[in-house]
Every structure is written in structure tokens, then in C-alpha cells.
Amino acid sequence: MKLFNCQQCGSLLYFENRTCEGCGTILGYLPFEETLSALAMEDDAVTALGAADPARRRRLCVNAGRDACNWLVDADGDETFCASCRHNHIIPELSDDRALTLWRRLEVAKHRLFYSLIRLGIALPNRIDDPASGLAFDVLDPIPGQPKVLTGHRDGVITINLDEADDAHREEMRHRMHETYRTLLGHCRHEVGHWIWDRMVRDQGRMDAFRALFGDERADYPQALERHYQDGAAPDWQQRTISAYATSHPWEDFAETWAHYLHIMDTLETANAFGLGVKPTIANAEALQVDIAIDPYRTAHMDEILDQWMPLVYAMNSLNRSMGLSDLYPFIISEPVREKLGFIHAMLQDQPGADALPPPPAPQSPPAPQPPEAESAG
């Protein structure tokens, strides 16, 4: 995730900021320009001119009025929902304060997901664009006495149980399912991986290459899941897959690997934005020395990305242990997992138009910070 500067006062901004803490200017995110823009609101208090792109009028997404979005849409177009929110199909009853609070948390995670998908140049049809298999989210609030709401994916529709946005419930489920990692953002990334498989593996002729790495997806899926929940993963699963659940079926192996691909890309971009490096001060630690100096979204080879990722992971886990916490990234990237990640990265590099991605914008010097005149994440 990038860092940003306010075009009015130069203050540091974060992805979820809706106003600048330095000068109070209203902010909006331009997803395809990949920047937060200070806004000059017009007389109708709805449309605005963005400092990052002053030639075009914009308006805030409708969900800004629900304190759930800071993304912008074209003021002269018909779309009132942003590039993330237009994929919402079913949302909870927002008159309920609990549901509204949990839904807002989910929207933070979903916007971070779409940030990555857009940066990767993935075509993102919704159910209006593609009624059969466009990407949509159903966020369902469980009702006592009614069938359970299961988080999952089917034909482009991702269902998420709203209770997953409740920290206590999610932690209980993490222990019950014997998981080392369970987050809202992780759910979003995993489930969209199934949709990516449909569109970019199945529909784009990559089945042979997929089966060579992940296995034969024609294995009975319900039986595979039942066997996994009954017997668990083989003791040597870490030598072959990124998680125990990934052993249950090739589809789940792909979705888990896809989720970890996005974990790696977004975290490395954040480390780069902060200028982080790992430089151990003890002898014989040269393999851990690295300056996070790449934009992973514009790096051609997965090996180069992983060469920067592994020292960073070692340092992050060590820092967490110093705080008495579990490892931030409690996973092992074996050689087979490295190959699977490389498959995903090469697949994305092979998208139509991938070679035509514009170069990263040249850094601009923000205006000198002015004294202030007087205040979200997956």
C-alpha cells in the first residue's frame, strides 16, 4: 500500500484518510490514478475538483455518506458507486448499529482488495457488466434459527458472513478451525482467488500448467473437503502447500496461494513506501540483508519479489515475538509454493495489455507543510 501527501499542505496521508489531518481538506481516492486527491468542493457540496486531476469533476461514492468509502467517481457519468462499491450485491440492514459497524470494517478490507486488483490490471466486471459471472459480494447477517451463512464463492458471487467482521467471533473461529491466520482481508483475498481461477486459469487455457503444479481439480470437491475436515492435512503439508487447508483440493490450494500472493505484494509495497530495509548487526547474516527497493506490482520476476520478502518476514516475525505476539507471517514458502506463486505472477504478467502498463509516476515534491489551522484497516 502506498503512502500519499496532501496536495494542499504536504501532510502525510494514508489510504483510508477522508480528510487531511493537517489542513482539514476533504480527500478522495482516485483508483485508476492510484492517488489520494485533495478536493475543492463545488457549490452543490457534492461534486468536486481534485487537485491530483483538476481537469475532471468528481463526486464521492454514495457510500461516503455511510462513512464506508473515500473513493471517487466521475461526476459527469451515470455511476454513483466507486470501482469497489459497485461490486456490492447484497449488504446488511444498515439501520442496525452493530451491522453498520461490522459492514464498515468489511468495506475497509474490500477496498484494500480492490486496490490490489486494480494495481494488477485485472478486468473487474460486476453483475451488470457480466450477469453470469461478474464479481459481486453478498454480505449476509446471520439470523438465529435460519440456515448458517457460509463464507464462500460461486460463479463470481462471494458470500461473506458478517460475523467475520466481529473480532471475538473471528478469533473463536480461528481457534476452532486450527488456523494460524484469519482476517477479513484474508477472506476477501482467498475468495476472490476462486473467481480469478475461473476467469484466468479455466477460461484462458492454463489448465495443463495449473494441474502440473496444483493437482487435478476434477477430484470430487465435497468429498475432498469432508476428508480434509475429518482427517486433516498430512504431516508434511508444509513441504507442498502454503497452508494446511490448501491440501484439501487443488481449487483451495490455488485460492490460498493467490491470497498469499496478494499478502506479499501489498506488504512489500508498504515496506517500500516506508523505505524499510533489513540489515542485521551480527556476523554471518548476509542472507538477511535487503533494502526493500522494488515496486512488486511492476517487478517482472517472482524470484526477485520473494528474495526481498523472506528477509522482511524474518524481521517482522522477530519483532512480533519481542512484543509477545505470534508470528505476523507464520508460513513457510517451500520450493513448490515458490513455483505456484511464480505461476500466478507469470499469469498476471501475461494478461492482455500487461506490457502496456504505464511507468510509475515520477515522484513530486509536495508543498512545504503549513501549520495546522485548528482526524480505519484490513
Query: For the segment 166-188, what is each residue's pLDDT rounded down to a tens digit?
Result: 999 999 999 998 899 999 999 99
Taken as a whole, the chain contains a residue count of 378
The mean of the pLDDT values for the chain is 91
The count of other CB atoms within 10 Å of the CB of residue 36 is: 29
- The verdict on 109 and 64 lying in the same domain is no
- The verdict on 111 and 190 lying in the same domain is yes
Which pLDDT score is estimated for 354? Answer: 55
State which of 21, 48, 81 marks the end of a domain. Answer: 81
Range of the domain at 161: 84-204
- The verdict on 97 and 189 lying in the same domain is yes
pTM here? 0.91
* Domain annotation covers residue 213: no
- The verdict on 88 and 68 lying in the same domain is no
- The verdict on 353 and 250 lying in the same domain is yes
Residues 156 and 198 sit within 8 Å (Cβ to Cβ): yes
Taking only the tens place, the pLDDT of each residue in 78-126 is 999 999 999 999 999 999 999 999 999 999 999 999 999 999 999 999 9
- The verdict on 114 and 179 lying in the same domain is yes
- The verdict on 187 and 286 lying in the same domain is no
Grid look-up 469432508 returns 226
* Domain annotation covers residue 228: no
Q: Count of alpha carbons within 13 Å of 331, Cβ hemisphere only?
A: 26
- Residue 374: is its pLDDT beyond 50? no
CA 323, 329, 331, 334 torsion-angle sign? negative
- The verdict on 25 and 64 lying in the same domain is yes
Beta-carbon contacts of 5 under 8 Å, excluding residues fewer than 6 positions away, are: 11, 12, 13, 366
Comparing C-alpha atoms, which of 222, 250, 206, 233 is closest to residue 348? 206
- The verdict on 63 and 148 lying in the same domain is no
Taking only the tens place, the pLDDT of each residue in 49-91 is 777 788 888 999 999 999 999 999 999 889 999 999 999 999 9
Beta-carbon contacts of 291 under 8 Å, excluding residues fewer than 6 positions away, are: 277
Which pLDDT score is estimated for 378? Answer: 28
* Domain annotation covers residue 170: yes
C-alpha cell at 283: 556476523
State which of 56, 81, 106 marks the end of a domain. Answer: 81
* Domain annotation covers residue 99: yes
Task: Give the separation between CA 62 and CA 253, rounded to whole angstroms.
Answer: 36
Which pLDDT score is estimated for 49? Answer: 75
Residue 324, judged by CB atoms within 10 A of its CB (0-12, 13-18, 19+), counts as exposed
Give the helix/strand (H/E) hosting 139: strand 136-140
- Residue 157: is its pLDDT beyond 50? yes
Taking only the tens place, the pLDDT of each residue in 313-370 is 999 999 999 999 999 999 999 999 999 999 999 999 998 755 444 444 443 333 333 3
- The verdict on 199 and 89 lying in the same domain is yes
* Domain annotation covers residue 227: no
Counting the structural domains of the chain, the total is: 3
- The verdict on 107 and 74 lying in the same domain is no
Grid look-up 516475525 returns 317
* Domain annotation covers residue 372: no
* Domain annotation covers residue 370: no
- Residue 14: is its pLDDT beyond 70? yes
* Domain annotation covers residue 294: yes
Taking only the tens place, the pLDDT of each residue in 260-316 is 999 999 999 999 999 999 999 999 999 999 999 999 999 999 999 999 999 999 999
- Residue 26: is its pLDDT beyond 60? yes
State which of 186, 204, 222 marks the end of a domain. Answer: 204
- The verdict on 105 and 75 lying in the same domain is no
